[in-house]
Every structure is written in structure tokens, then in C-alpha cells.
């Protein structure tokens, strides 16, 4: 690297200095260095901290002039430049110079940005699961044009010919751990979006979701449509059924479109809300609606069937339906499902 050991302080601010900076980065690119090497070389050249960040990975690289990782919190950038690829901004490069920018900083950052884009295109995104939430949101948003969606998917590491499934997740576990479990050998990216986690995956092993995770899975295909389906499916998850695929809902998915005020004032739904005030009664109703059998409900609840029968008699009076009749069981199941969707 001796041939690269130049410093901006030793260059003039005119044509000769700019040409030497350009030659410096041309040499780095010919050597096919990676992003950390780019940041180290740039920090040495600039004699201050240099940083690189690609949106697709969310990783930030900051190097000090001595080549070591920059210590402490980042200082305000004295100057910065966007990293662009195919007219899409995919990252940022910057300098943290203690004083004002020097005349050749603009040239340095311009060449560093070009070199970083070349590295991103050559090597693709790093093998990390967590991704920039803004890039993931661009993929799943219904307002994104297809060209921008395709570019975003490519930056996240998904080939154009691979279908992508979207999973909506509620979990106390780290999203990258969940993503690695459900799609261990193929591309998967994760990001938080509001109070819901988003997973983009080429395959989903629903049996691999860890305990305590609630997940709604959308169909493969358009990520925006898959995201809408995944959010709907997530609303139907329960403790007994923590993972729901939208395709399994069938006509039940229509319940998610019922206005909240309309659902809340329905007599059957209001009756379920009264039942839910007693946790034991709610658990009994859920078990009976899930099994359609008094004895199987008793097995789920680990109770004697006579105890469950007494509870069901009281619940039936509260609901005003005959739970042993198919019509009554259907009404109770629909009302219970609608009450859950309210999330009150």
C-alpha cells in the first residue's frame, strides 16, 4: 500500500491534486478492495474519520486515520455524498473532519462514493438478515412503482426471478433470529416497521417459528399484496394458533374488512366481550369452538368434562345461543373470531 500513502494535506487544491485523488481510487478499485478497506484508505488519505453506509445492509463502517475502527460516537459529518447505483441512492459516504472541509474533500467523497457503488454491485449485499427499514418498506408499499421495487429487492439480495413471501411478526425475540430459523439456507431479510416485524423470504418453514412468536404469512408473489395478506393473517393468530397462512383463512378473511364500530356493536360480539371478562370462561369458549366437542375441549383444558359442561351452560346463557347446535356453534365461533380481531 506504500504507493497509496498520500495525504490531502500534501496535495494542492487544483488540478494536480484532484488527479492524484482520482488515481488513488482507481488503484483501489483495480485491487478490488472491499468496503472496510475503502474506508481505511479514505480515512488515511483525508487524515480524519471516514464512514461508509449501505442502506441495504444497515451496516455502518467508520475508520480512523490510523486504519483502526473509529472509537466513540460519530461526530457530525463535515461533508458527505450519496452512493448511487442505477440512479438509485443505496448508501452514503462521509468525512468527520474536526474543522471545515478542505478543498479536495469533495473530490475524495465523489470518488469514494463511486468506488463504494462498484463494490456493492460486485459483491452484492452482505449476508446479514437485518435490513434498512426504509428499503424494506419500499418493497412492500403498494405505492411503489415496479422499477423501484425491483431495484430495492436486488439491493436486499433477492434475484428478480425468485418469488418473495412476506411475513408479519410479533415477537420478543430478535427478528434476525426468527428469520434465520424459518429460512436458514436462502435469502431472508428482516426489519421492524412500527409495532410489527417484517420478514422477506424466498421460502418459509412455518414449523420452524419459535415458541412465543405470532406470525401471519402472505402468499408468494407481489410483495405489496403479500404484505397486506400477512398483516391480515397476523390478526387471526392466537395462543393456540400462533402461525396463520392467509391462504388458510378462506372466507374468514372477510371478517377483517368489517368496520370496527360495526363489529363492536354486534350483539353476538358484545356477548363474547362479556364472556371474556372471565378468563376461565373465555378459555373454555375458545377450546370448545376450536374442537366442536365437549370432551376434546376438556382434554385441552385439562378439566373433567362435567366441569366444562357447567361452564358451557353458563356461556350459552350469556351468548343467547345453543352451543350444542351447529348453528349456535357457528355463531359463537364467528363472534369469537370477530372479537379477537378488534384487539380490545
Nearest to 123 by CA among 230, 18, 29, 234: 29
State the Cα–Cα distance between residues 220 and 130, nearest whole angstrom: 20
Cell numbers linked to 318:
350469556
In terms of phi and psi (left: phi > 0; alpha: psi -120 to 50; beta: otherwise), the region of 194 is left
Q: What span, in angstroms and rounded, lies between the C-alpha atoms of 289 and 291?
A: 6
Helix (H) / strand (E) element for 199: namely strand 196-201
Q: What is the pLDDT of residue 158?
A: 83
Q: Any idea which residue has 444497515 for its cell?
A: 58
Architecture, CATH, for domain 2-123? 2-Layer Sandwich (3.30)
- Closest by alpha carbon to 118, among 56, 206, 28, 184? 28
CATH number of 258-342: 1.10.10.2840
Q: Which residue has the cell 485523488?
A: 21
Distance between CA atoms of residues 215 and 273, nearest Å: 24
Q: From CA 238, how far away is CA 321, in angstroms rounded?
A: 24
**2-123 and 258-342 have identical folds:** no
Q: Give the chain's largest Cα–Cα span.
A: 94
3-state DSSP assignment of residue 160 = coil
Do 336 and 286 contact (CB within 8 A), yes or no? yes
pLDDT at 5: 46
Query: Any idea what the Cα angle at residue 103 is, between residues 97 and 109, rounded to 5°?
Result: 65
pLDDT computed for residue 10 by the predictor: 54
51 vs 20: CA distance, rounded Å: 21
What does the pLDDT read at residue 125? 56
Per-residue pLDDT of the chain (344 residues; tens, 9 = 90+): 434 445 555 555 566 778 889 999 999 999 888 889 999 999 999 999 999 998 766 678 999 999 999 988 889 999 999 998 867 788 899 999 998 998 889 999 999 999 999 888 776 655 567 888 888 999 999 999 988 888 888 888 887 677 889 999 999 999 988 998 998 877 889 999 988 999 999 889 999 999 999 999 998 778 999 999 999 999 999 988 999 999 999 999 999 999 999 999 999 999 999 999 999 999 999 999 999 999 998 998 899 989 988 999 999 999 999 998 999 999 999 999 999 999 85
The single residue listed with the C-alpha cell 404484505 is: 227
Cα torsion for 194, 196, 197, 200, to the nearest 10°? -100
Which residue from 247, 218, 234 is spatially nearest to 340, judged by alpha carbons? 234
Which residues on adjacent β-strands are paired with residue 166? Answer: 200
Q: Is 238 helix (H, G, I), strand (E, B) or coil?
A: coil
Instruction: Quote the cell numbers at residue 252.
Output: 374468514
- Beta strands 49-54 and 88-96 are antiparallel
For residue 126, give the nearest of 100, 156, 104, 93 by alpha carbon.
156
Could you tell me if 85 and 121 are in contact, meaning their C-beta atoms sit under 8 angstroms apart? yes
* Boundaries of every domain in the chain: 2-123, 133-253, 258-342
Three-state DSSP class for 91?
strand
CA distance 330 to 12: 83
Amino acid at each position: 500500500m506504500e504507493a497509496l500513502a498520500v495525504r490531502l494535506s500534501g496535495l494542492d487544491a487544483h488540478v494536480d491534486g484532484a488527479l492524484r485523488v482520482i488515481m488513488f481510487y482507481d488503484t483501489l478499485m483495480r485491487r478490488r478492495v472491499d468496503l472496510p478497506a475503502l474506508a481505511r484508505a479514505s480515512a488515511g488519505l483525508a487524515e480524519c474519520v471516514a464512514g461508509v453506509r449501505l442502506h441495504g445492509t444497515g451496516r455502518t463502517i467508520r475508520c480512523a486515520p490510523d486504519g483502526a475502527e473509529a472509537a466513540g460516537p460519530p461526530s457530525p459529518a463535515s461533508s458527505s455524498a450519496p452512493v448511487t447505483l442505477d440512479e438509485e441512492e443505496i448508501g452514503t459516504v462521509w468525512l468527520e473532519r474536526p474543522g471545515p472541509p478542505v478543498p479536495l474533500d469533495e473530490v475524495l467523497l465523489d470518488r469514494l462514493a463511486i468506488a463504494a457503488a462498484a463494490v456493492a454491485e460486485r459483491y452484492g449485499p452482505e449476508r446479514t438478515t437485518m435490513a434498512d427499514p426504509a428499503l424494506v418498506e419500499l418493497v412492500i408499499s403498494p405505492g411503489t412503482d415496479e422499477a423501484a421495487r425491483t431495484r430495492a429487492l436486488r439491493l436486499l439480495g433477492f434475484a428478480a426471478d425468485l418469488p418473495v413471501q412476506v411475513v408479519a411478526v410479533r415477537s420478543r425475540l430478535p427478528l434476525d433470529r426468527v428469520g434465520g430459523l424459518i429460512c436458514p439456507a436462502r435469502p431472508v431479510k428482516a426489519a421492524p416497521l412500527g409495532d410489527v416485524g417484517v420478514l422477506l423470504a424466498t421460502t418459509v418453514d412455518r414449523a420452524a417459528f419459535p415458541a412465543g412468536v405470532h406470525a401471519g404469512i402472505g402468499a408468494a408473489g407481489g410483495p405489496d399484496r403479500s404484505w397486506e395478506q400477512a398483516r391480515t393473517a397476523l390478526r387471526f393468530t392466537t395462543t393456540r394458533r400462533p402461525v396463520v397462512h392467509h391462504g388458510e383463512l378462506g372466507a374468514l378473511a372477510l371478517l377483517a374488512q368489517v368496520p370496527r364500530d360495526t363489529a363492536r356493536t354486534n350483539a353476538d360480539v358484545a356477548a363474547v366481550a362479556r364472556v371474556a371478562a372471565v378468563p376461565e370462561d373465555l378459555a373454555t369458549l375458545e377450546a370448545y369452538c376450536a374442537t366442536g366437542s365437549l370432551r376434546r375441549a376438556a382434554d385441552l383444558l385439562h378439566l373433567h368434562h362435567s366441569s366444562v359442561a357447567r361452564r358451557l351452560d353458563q356461556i350459552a346463557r350469556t351468548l343467547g345461543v345453543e352451543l350444542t347446535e351447529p348453528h349456535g356453534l357457528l355463531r359463537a365461533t364467528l363472534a369469537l373470531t370477530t372479537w379477537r380481531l378488534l384487539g380490545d
